[in-house]
Amino acid sequence: MRDGIELARRGLPNVALITEAFWPQAEFVARAAGMPGAPRIRLPHPVAGTGRDRMAEIAGEFRPAILAGLAGGG
């Protein structure tokens, strides 16, 4: 989240990928940094360690939202 906020402050397109388990912390960090609207997408938890097939499935599912976020429509 912090990296996404820094990129947003620099005007660079980005979207933070946050799993459900870490969503409350991401919300807190965004508010504390004064950027509650920093772009982010909530992913299922866990992603890491779930295997290539599951990670590819998640990537495919969230690809449209990630691309929209990078284009400023997220």
All structural domains of the chain with their residue ranges: 2-70
pLDDT above 70: residue 60: yes
- The helix/strand/coil state of 43 is strand
Give the C-alpha separation, 57 to 74, whole Å. Answer: 20
Give the C-alpha separation, 56 to 66, whole Å. Answer: 14
**Residue 42, exposed/middle/buried by CB under 10 A (0-12, 13-18, 19+)?**
middle
pLDDT at 72: 84
pLDDT average, residue stretch 51-71 = 96
pLDDT tens digits for range 9-36: 999 999 999 999 999 999 999 999 999 9
How many CA atoms does the CB half-sphere of 4 hold within 13 Å? Answer: 21
pLDDT above 70: residue 74: no
pLDDT tens digits for range 1-10: 999 999 999 9
